[in-house]
Amino acid sequence: MSLHVLEFNDAGLRLSDASGILLSSPGYAYVNAKEIEFGESARKRSKVYPLSSYNQFWHKLSLDPFSKPVGNFRHNADIAFSHLQDIARSAELEGEVVLAVPGSFSREQMAILLGLLKQSPMRPVGLVDAALMASIDHAHHESVIHIDLQLHQVVLSKMQRVGSELKRESVVLVPGAGWMNISDNLMHLFTSAFIQQCRFNPQHNAASEQMLLDNLPQWLSEEGIEDSTDDANLQENRSSLQVRLTQNNTVHQASLPRSALHSRLLPFFQKIVQQLAVIDPQGNCPILVSDYMQCLPGFDTVLSSSLKGDSRSALLLSERSVAQACFDYRDALLGTSEALHFVSKVSARQSEAPAIAASEAQAQVAPTHLLMRHQARRLSDGILICVGTQDGQRGVHLLQAKQVAGLADMQVVGEILAKNGEFILQSKSLLINANALDGPQVLKLGDTLSSAELDLKTIELICVQESNE
């Protein structure tokens, strides 16, 4: 029976096996007298039936009784247990599971979680800090900080490295900066744009308000994609984000200045940056940004601005970073259901080059962007090189996994992963410097990717120099 990894972030509980992510189920529940739903289907009812919707049962996991009845549930732990059962049922899961929990979980909450799992089809054989696993292969300095977005807060986890061992040192929570707070704020922003430009108030009734919420991730994703180019002329032409909603066969369209979107998000980002100063007063820890955090356009810019003058840098992680590390380090994580212990430190694999060689490598100029069709895309963990149709355009595209999921004809032909401070290309279809790949290959400045079969002339690895001003 194969091993699975279950990541506990209420923005989306993720279940993975060695092949990849099997499902993601956000921490929403819809409860009424006749039916109970969880995950995405419950989220899509959260505005339509707000009094029957719940989203704090993981955030406030406890055995404290409800003040008012919630179906047959006595407390948040009951709802959480049903959510676990729903995940197991959806994935037809029975057997061994490694649990990757956030730094926001208290020991009491972890004890409750293990108690719930004993009654479920899952058998926990490992319990590990999620941020630790996301960081383990990227911690090349004395300390590193991992940033993750949850529904109701942001979690900052600081890891300390001693020799080959990496351990979680401290955790700082940023309340009021989670996706719920951000999405509510952005909904008001988009509503104002619709009212002013086409006299349509999407928050006037529950159905259109739900539609507004459902469209937010896609709108933000589009903003993030277009904002990724470093071409000044293109940026000027894309000063506004075009959004639309369809209700009763009527299309309502509005234009929102990107500057207004970034300004609306700025107070949330500033809260996070302020807490970074608390957890890292010296300002020398590299930053690892989770994929959930990357969904917020403009955060990388604010973060980069805060890093100017510091020796630290920021790395964008893929959605598979936690699960993949759990499989890579499974021997260090596995216990038994009878003797399960919380893993908050792990010895990194001894695969790094000697210290002198590593220092020399760091001194060399490394690529920072991919240049394709005169547009630059910042290198990050988990970039997929795909062939298919996006926004009506057939061809080669640079996407993240969450973008590919909604595109039926999109074919992945290559993947870029971050490992040990370098970016590695995996592909069976692409040529690098006109030569076929013989397994995974480290990308270097000046490398070119091409494929005659895919009508890809070139993707070039370039370095964009940051301004020191």
pLDDT tens for 32-83 read 888 899 999 999 999 999 999 999 999 999 999 999 989 999 999 999 999 9
Instruction: Indicate whether 420 pLDDT > 90.
Output: no
Average of per-residue pLDDT across 83-110: 94
pLDDT, one tens digit per residue, over 429-466 is 898 988 888 788 899 888 889 887 777 878 988 887 65
Instruction: Indicate whether 359 pLDDT > 60.
Output: no
The residue extents of the domains of the chain are 4-138+321-347, 179-263, 369-462
Return the amino acid letter for 210.
Q
Instruction: Indicate whether 325 pLDDT > 60.
Output: yes
Instruction: Indicate whether 315 pLDDT > 90.
Output: no
Q: Which helix (H) or strand (E) holds 116?
A: helix 107-118
pLDDT of residue 247: 87
What CATH class is the domain 4-138+321-347?
alpha beta
pLDDT of residue 178: 96
Q: How many CB atoms lie within 10 A of CB 445?
A: 13
Instruction: Indicate whether 246 pLDDT > 50.
Output: yes
pTM score, whole prediction: 0.78
User: With left for phi above 0 and alpha for psi between -120 and 50, is residue 454 left, alpha or beta?
Assistant: alpha
Angstrom distances, CA of residue 257 to CA of 183, 193, 237, 304: 17, 10, 11, 22
pLDDT of residue 240: 84
Q: Residues 6 or more apart from 128 whose CB is under 8 A from it?
A: 98, 99, 100, 101, 326, 333, 342, 343, 344, 346
pLDDT of residue 311: 54
pLDDT of residue 310: 57
Instruction: Indicate whether 234 pLDDT > 50.
Output: no
pLDDT of residue 340: 81
**pLDDT, the chain, mean:** 86
pLDDT of residue 238: 59
What percent of the chain is predicted at pLDDT more than 90?
53
Do residues 92 and 23 touch, judged by C-beta distance below 8 A?
no
pLDDT of residue 358: 37
Q: Residue 141 and residue 139: Cα distance in Å, rounded? A: 6
**Range of weakest confidence among 320-324, 353-357, 386-390, 447-451:** 353-357
pLDDT of residue 230: 43
How many CA atoms are closer than 13 Å to the CA of 209, on its beta-carbon side?
14
pLDDT of residue 456: 81
3-state SS, residue 222: helix
Q: Residue 142 and residue 163: Cα distance in Å, rounded? A: 9
Instruction: Indicate whether 468 pLDDT > 70.
Output: no
Average of per-residue pLDDT across 298-314: 74
Q: Residue 62 and residue 107: Cα distance in Å, rounded? A: 11
pLDDT of residue 364: 56
Six token digits for residue 295:
């969904």
pLDDT, one tens digit per residue, over 255-298 is 999 889 999 999 999 999 999 999 998 887 889 999 999 889 88
Angle at 432 between CA 428 and CA 438, to 5 degrees: 50
Do residues 209 and 194 touch, judged by C-beta distance below 8 A?
no
Instruction: Indicate whether 352 pLDDT > 60.
Output: no
What CATH number matches the domain at 369-462, 3.90.700.10, 1.20.1050.140, 2.60.40.1150, 2.60.200.20? 2.60.200.20
**Range of weakest confidence among 118-122, 253-257, 371-375, 431-435:** 371-375
- Determine the topology of domain 179-263 in CATH: Actin; Chain A, domain 4 (3.90.640)
Instruction: Look at strands 95-101 and 4-7 and give their pairing.
Output: parallel
Instruction: Indicate whether 165 pLDDT > 80.
Output: yes
Q: Which residue has the higher pLDDT, 287 or 406?
A: 287
